[in-house]
Amino acid sequence: MAIQIIGMPLGYGAGVQGAEYGPGKLRTLGLEQAIRWMGFDIYDTGDIETSENGRIKACAFDNRLKHIDVVADANTRLAYRVYESISGGNFPLILGGDHSLGLGSIAGLSKQIKRLGVIWIDAHGDLNTESTTPSGNIHGMSLAASMGLGAERLVNLFDHRKKIEDKNIVLIGTRALDDGEINLLNNSKIKTYNMDVIRKIGIKSVAKRALSYLRGRVDGIHVSFDIDFLDAELVPGTGTPVSGGGSIEEAKILLGAIARSGMMVSMDFAELDPLIDKGDATANVCVDLLSHVFACIKTISKGAAMSG
Ligand SMILES: [Mn+2]
């Protein structure tokens, strides 16, 4: 297995500028080298083309689906790149970029992995559609669209099919859901562990329950991590921070358990906005968390090597 870094420098899904500088910042801080030193084969295949190419000015601005042209086009390219990566036996690591990138990564992965499991770690649900969205920002619709709900262009992105089954989704860390999202959740089979549940039973139990729920049910787990899972105090460099979130230690316990499960096949890392970061405080947290994930994956590959 080789790790393939795929940059998704897109901020249009968040409706504001900033997240497009996320992949570049993580590269500058030496993410690739940090992972390579652990003994992984890792290569950076660069960024997905996300420019407007002048098109956006020519099309009407849709207030319920802001910047849909550039978001859909970039995510279609991301889907293709992720599909190539996973079907070539690699571990795609998608660096964002706003969380609309979940659309592209899940579209690409689910073409190769029929029963794809998704663990969506986020303060938000990203379960809006163009009819429920309060903001019109597509980064709040990526999970719903991957389930086949919402705008046709997002639902049928990359290919014409529903990408994931609601029963194969686990949502962890939510504490800021819109009314439409609560409604959708109540009418779905998504397994949810919100912040209240995490406070009640502990992150370790949440990780354990989520993994035993997905084991046997899916053929691989994609982790879609939005850094606003972490408490607002810890992540000044993200666009929609929410208080009452997880600690860095809790994020490491959760991600570490998933990484050691042997079921993790790919990862999104979304919503770092270097423009509003305090120094590189948030960006450094990102590198720390990602290093932890791959250090944990390394422990299982070492174990496999010894027993083989
Ligand atoms: Mn999100």
How does pLDDT run across 65-78, given as a tens digit for each residue?
Answer: 999 999 999 999 99
What confidence category does residue 213 fall into, taking pLDDT thresholds of 50, 70 and 90? Answer: very high
Q: Which of 228, 231, 268, 273 is catalytic?
A: 228
Question: In this structure, what token pair is assigned to residue 299?
Answer: 């422990």
* 62 against 42, higher pLDDT: 42
Q: Please say if 98 is a catalytic residue.
A: no
Q: How far is the CA of 143 from the centre of ligand 1 (A)?
A: 9
In which domain, by residue range, is 217 found?
2-307
Q: How far is the CA of 165 from the centre of ligand 1 (A)?
A: 18
Q: Which of 20, 69, 73, 126 is catalytic?
A: 126
Q: How far is the CA of 139 from the centre of ligand 1 (A)?
A: 6
Q: How far is the CA of 226 from the centre of ligand 1 (A)?
A: 5
Domain count, the chain: 1
Q: Please say if 160 is a catalytic residue.
A: no
Q: Please say if 222 is a catalytic residue.
A: no
Q: What is the CATH number of the domain that holds 201?
A: 3.40.800.10
What confidence category does residue 221 fall into, taking pLDDT thresholds of 50, 70 and 90? Answer: very high
The predicted pLDDT at position 58 comes to: 47
Q: How far is the CA of 195 from the centre of ligand 1 (A)?
A: 15
Q: How far is the CA of 65 from the centre of ligand 1 (A)?
A: 16
pLDDT at 62 over 60: yes
Q: Please say if 152 is a catalytic residue.
A: no
Q: Which of 69, 166, 226, 277 is catalytic?
A: 226
pLDDT at 308 over 60: no
How does pLDDT run across 126-177, given as a tens digit for each residue?
Answer: 999 999 999 999 999 999 999 999 999 999 999 999 999 999 999 999 999 9
Q: Please say if 159 is a catalytic residue.
A: no
* 217 against 307, higher pLDDT: 217
Q: Please say if 62 is a catalytic residue.
A: no
